[in-house]
Structure 1
């Protein structure tokens, strides 16, 4: 189903719940993996996905359709992710190195992550990047998004994105 059809279903009172369920089914998996690559932990990712869809439910009436629905959803997920990581550091007064070590441990021992040695090394290396740079790398490399899409989601210029990616 096209995004515009989903939005129409959600805007109509009689089909709002059905339309939202369709939206969740369409985007939940992609949003989960986007968040999971940033926070590493499965439970944290699940919680954040729920928060993202609650925000979407509450704010869909504000969606102006200036960008695509997926771009808007991705932006909400991205902001939730970055805010979560920032709060996690502040809550535990942990330096970035300690958070990095904790996430590296999750990559190595997590039951939901597997892969060969090269993938494991890549994930560990990514954890050494600042959050926003890791986010941009994930969007470009793993999600194969175009710089223009990433620019809309992160509200960053294409030139800055290219520099961060490389």
Structure 2
């Protein structure tokens, strides 16, 4: 694994940019795919958002100042791309965010890329009902096992606020999952 500082330097140099970008994509594509997939819930949409994310990373690498980790910067781009994608989709379809998320969860059963069982499906339905910030925090903490400090960098919010959002998300999920 190449050091992050070296990778950033190589990404900014015209001579090494192409190879460095291949390394970047191979290093982060799976993690970013699953991050995006948990937001948009559809394989094809996740692929599209991921492609847009890497295009933005490539085009904007010169503006990366190193104030945060490269990983956090890319996650922020991926998160924003996924949320923008959802907003465009719901606007185009003329439905609310919640209605769209519930429809996408229902479609998971027919999705050949979804490998979950009934419990996983019920959890996805519960997560879809969470407010956007709680959903993001829950997914990053529960599925990706990110530290609050990392999530704070990605979402540009306080650690205290994230802990409160995660706690509220857990309570709401427990309530939903224990109802019959």
For normalisation by structure 2, the TM-score amounts to 0.88
- Larger mean CA deviation between 95-104 and 136-145 belongs to 95-104
Measure how far apart 1:8 and its partner are: 1.8
Query: What is the distance in 2 between the residues matched to 1:156 and 1:7?
Result: 25
Measure how far apart 1:153 and its partner are: 0.6
Match for residue 91 of structure 1? 92
Query: What is the distance in 1 between the residues matched to 2:94 and 2:44?
Result: 21
Query: What is the distance in 2 between the residues matched to 1:127 and 1:108?
Result: 15
1:109-155 Cα distance to aligned partner (Å, 9 max, x none):
21100122222211111111122221110001010111111111101
- Larger mean CA deviation between 148-157 and 89-98 belongs to 89-98
Query: What is the distance in 2 between the residues matched to 1:95 and 1:119?
Result: 23
Aligned-residue RMSD, C-alpha = 1.2
Match for residue 134 of structure 1? 135
Q: Which runs of 5+ in 1 are unaligned?
A: none
Does the CA-based 8 Å contact 2:11-2:18 persist in structure 1?
yes
1:60-94 Cα distance to aligned partner (Å, 9 max, x none):
00000001000000010011111111222222220
Does the CA-based 8 Å contact 1:35-1:81 persist in structure 2?
yes
Q: How does 1:36-115 map to 2 (within 5 A)?
A: 36-115=37-116
Match for residue 177 of structure 2? none
For normalisation by structure 1, the TM-score amounts to 0.95
The list of structure 1 runs, each at least 4 consecutive aligned residues, that deviate by more than 4 angstroms after superposition, is none
Does the CA-based 8 Å contact 1:104-1:127 persist in structure 2?
yes
SS at match of 2:15: helix
Measure how far apart 1:101 and its partner are: 2.8
Q: Which runs of 5+ in 2 are unaligned?
A: 168-180
- Larger mean CA deviation between 106-115 and 145-154 belongs to 106-115
Query: What is the distance in 2 between the residues matched to 1:31 and 1:148?
Result: 18
